[in-house]
Amino acid sequence: MSLQSAVEHSAQGTQRLVLGLQPAGAKAPQLLPEFGHHLQVVVTPSSTLPQAPQHAVFVSRRLLQWGQFQAECRSPSVGIRCDLDTSVLMPSSLVEIVLFGIPASPEVFVRKAVEAGHPADFKSSLEPLLKSIVEENIVGDELKLAKARLAFVAKWSSRAKALEKREAELHAGLPKHIKHILKGKRLLLLQEMIDFYGLPDTELVEHMKEGFSLSGWMPGSGSFPASTKRPEFSVDALRLLSAGFNAATLSKAKVRQERPLEEATWQETLAEEEQGWVWRCEDQVMDGKVVARRFGIFQNGKIRVIDDLTCCGLNATVGLREKFVLHSIDKMAAMLAYATSLVKDPDFSLCGRTYDLKSAYKQFPICQRDYDLLRFMVAEPGKTEPTLFGFSSLPFGGIGSVSAFLRISLCLWQLGIKGLRVMWTAFFDDYSVVSKESLKRNAAFGTESLFQLLGLTFAKEGKKAPPFSEVFSMLGLSVNLGPFKKGSVEIGHTEKRVSELDTSLKAVVDQGHTFGRGPAQALRTIDHHARTGATCKKLPPAVESALAVMRSRLKSAIPLQISSVDLSTWYLFTDGSCEAATGSGAVGAVLYDQCGRLVSAFSESVPTGVMHSLLQDSANPI
């Protein structure tokens, strides 16, 4: 299977469901058709429905001229039954088409359910390419794998040396700001790697040399599923609207942040100016420019500056040709679950760590057009008017920045998979690696060599450069590989993350603010009110309760255990009925194993007292 297939693998709608990327309010895609087949019944228009086939369900009815219906039926996709004398009909005669759905038999429905699988199960989310990587790392020949990684480094180190002169000539011809940002990047080497391993994003290096666009249509990479999102308006239209946008942005910028935060934001901006990532505008003129707003937030004890490219309208000009797919914790969990299935009572240990690219967005430039067009304003302590700067590198807050960096991130991950055969995942600038204890130095050497060969700056010391360990952190979670010898691994929240979230939730609750339906419902409630603009100054009781539930869940949650059991999906079908008029109801369920074999079933009447309680709040409780 190709790398592109490895990324796309499942249907686009299902991918969105698996990755939690469904739009707010959107329903999950239907995995199985509701009916086995349909039947169209042709009748004389009437207020009553024709007799339905056994077990059929009415779907729809419509009026149509007989001639039109005959044209439709030249290539019939459903069954047809005529309940009238067609010999007397003229093409203009009006008929009624009643559509019925015929349920599939239980046997057929279950078979299709097993074939479809569960959209979030580990087995279907781990494509053949990654299975082979896991097999090589867990049960493959250690010596062969170690030698292959050393050969990779030797081969491309030799090519880097051979390309030195051409790389220097290439960099010398780049625009000034692009040359500065890309200093040390081996672009020709990266292009050779992409071509050698057959990676899909063949134009990545070319776009890197030109600088990445922050406006207009983003180029397709071939690495993500196709999905079109059109821009709200063009860049030319934005130029015409820029005066109004800039005035609104200036008004926002004049609302000052707290002094310590404003000072920290300004110091961070000066540090970026010193690095050449941003530059101060000499004329401080906004005319003809699109001006974003920079502000700061304190996150995990440090300052993070955000460049709001939405308020100035630039993000609205961005069109996307692809739906970006990120490696969530589920990708690593799927690989680890498969690893536990490959060997029983292993006599070896696993370890892992996460690599972090330093100032990742700042390592790549923007294109000349946006370099000339885009500015940002930031509050300068002691001055009444904000100061104007320009960008040289990708800003944190642009849709175009996300598009560009995810292409780079995935390309790097693909090289690690295809070239180094590393068992790893990529989430923006975080790369999490798992290895046998006996191969950890080899895996580290290969991974770090890949970064260094391409001229990428990554954390080499401090808390973001931890050693390989049987317990490591990724994406705010703690992965415990210690139980691997017993056939499982554990994934849970890190103590630091729990403390941070609890402190944040407590800060909201303490401002004057108790949930009984569980953390999932609590999260939905909080999300709904956050999207509608609720603030902590006046929270509804439901949100207060939800926050209390989330705090309780954070403190009591135990790590999730991942093992080979997670590769097998069992199917539980549930149903219920409610007769409000008689105050009665029933519930039932049928359980099938991973092969579609019946395991167990039950059907019971709901106790009268329970029905009475349920009917107090709803005429049709679900």
pLDDT in tens, 492-539: 888 777 776 767 666 655 543 333 345 666 666 666 666 666 655 566
Q: How confident is the model at residue 298 (pLDDT cuts 50, 70, 90)?
A: confident
Q: Which of 399, 424, 440 is the last residue of a domain?
A: 399
Q: Distances in Å between the alpha carbon of 38 and those of 60, 124, 307, 496?
A: 11, 30, 53, 56
List the structure tokens of 262: 């404003």
Kindly state whether residue 59 falls inside one of the protein's structural domains: yes
Q: What 3-state class would DSSP assign to 447?
A: helix
Residue predicted with more confidence, 547 or 574: 574
Q: Among 138, 145, 314, 181, which Cα is nearest to 242's?
A: 314
Q: Would you say residue 100 has pLDDT above 60?
A: yes
Number of folded domains that form the chain: 4
Q: Give yes or no: residues 395 and 499 share one domain.
A: no
Q: Give yes or no: residues 232 and 104 share one domain.
A: no
Q: Would you say residue 301 has pLDDT above 80?
A: no
Q: Which of 70, 101, 118 is the last residue of a domain?
A: 118
**What is the phi-psi region of residue 309: left when phi exceeds 0, alpha when psi lies from -120 to 50, beta otherwise?**
alpha
Q: Give yes or no: residues 250 and 380 share one domain.
A: yes
Kindly state whether residue 134 falls inside one of the protein's structural domains: no
- The distance between the two most distant Cα atoms of the chain, rounded to a whole number of Å, is 91
Q: Would you say residue 5 has pLDDT above 60?
A: no
Count of residues in the chain: 622
Q: How confident is the model at residue 540 (pLDDT cuts 50, 70, 90)?
A: confident
- Nearest 5°: the CA angle 313, 316, 322 is 150
Q: How confident is the model at residue 229 (pLDDT cuts 50, 70, 90)?
A: very high
User: pLDDT value at position 47?
Assistant: 79
Cα 177 off chain centre by:
32
Q: Give yes or no: residues 391 and 249 share one domain.
A: yes
| Sequence letter at residue 132 | S
Kindly state whether residue 175 falls inside one of the protein's structural domains: no
Q: Give yes or no: residues 236 and 301 share one domain.
A: yes
Kindly state whether residue 407 falls inside one of the protein's structural domains: no
Q: Would you say residue 221 has pLDDT above 90?
A: yes
Tens-place pLDDT, residues 161-181: 999 999 999 999 999 999 999
| pLDDT more than 90, % of the chain | 54
Q: Would you say residue 358 has pLDDT above 70?
A: yes
Residue predicted with more confidence, 322 or 495: 322
User: pLDDT value at position 83?
Assistant: 87
- Out of 90-99, 274-283, 413-422, least confident range: 90-99
**What is the phi-psi region of residue 301: left when phi exceeds 0, alpha when psi lies from -120 to 50, beta otherwise?**
left
Kindly state whether residue 511 falls inside one of the protein's structural domains: yes
Q: Transcribe 77-133 into DSSP letters.
A: SSEEEE-S-GGG--TT-EEEEEEEEEPPPHHHHHHHHHHH--TT-HHHHS-HHHHHH
Q: Would you say residue 120 has pLDDT above 90?
A: no
Kindly state whether residue 65 falls inside one of the protein's structural domains: yes
| pLDDT more than 70, % of the chain | 86
Q: Give yes or no: residues 504 and 549 share one domain.
A: yes
Q: What 3-state class would DSSP assign to 462?
A: coil
Q: Would you say residue 228 has pLDDT above 60?
A: yes
Q: Give yes or no: residues 56 and 102 share one domain.
A: yes
Q: Would you say residue 416 has pLDDT above 50?
A: yes
Residue predicted with more confidence, 269 or 516: 269
Kindly state whether residue 173 falls inside one of the protein's structural domains: no
Residue predicted with more confidence, 106 or 145: 145
CB 356 within 8 A of CB 429: yes
Q: Give yes or no: residues 393 and 499 share one domain.
A: no
**Average of per-residue pLDDT across 278-299:** 91
Q: Give yes or no: residues 546 and 583 share one domain.
A: no
Q: Among 391, 335, 346, 343, which Cα is nearest to 366's?
A: 391
**Average of per-residue pLDDT across 77-102:** 87
Q: Would you say residue 356 has pLDDT above 60?
A: yes
Q: Would you say residue 308 has pLDDT above 70?
A: yes
Q: Give yes or no: residues 528 and 586 share one domain.
A: no
Q: How confident is the model at residue 77 (pLDDT cuts 50, 70, 90)?
A: low
CATH number of the domain enclosing 282: 3.10.10.10
Q: Give yes or no: residues 544 and 604 share one domain.
A: no
Q: Give yes or no: residues 289 and 377 share one domain.
A: yes
CB 573 within 8 A of CB 553: no
Kindly state whether residue 237 falls inside one of the protein's structural domains: yes
Range of the domain at 240: 228-323+366-399
Residue predicted with more confidence, 138 or 72: 138
User: pLDDT value at position 531?
Assistant: 67
Q: Which of 377, 399, 421 is the last residue of a domain?
A: 399
User: pLDDT value at position 122?
Assistant: 63
Q: How confident is the model at residue 264 (pLDDT cuts 50, 70, 90)?
A: very high
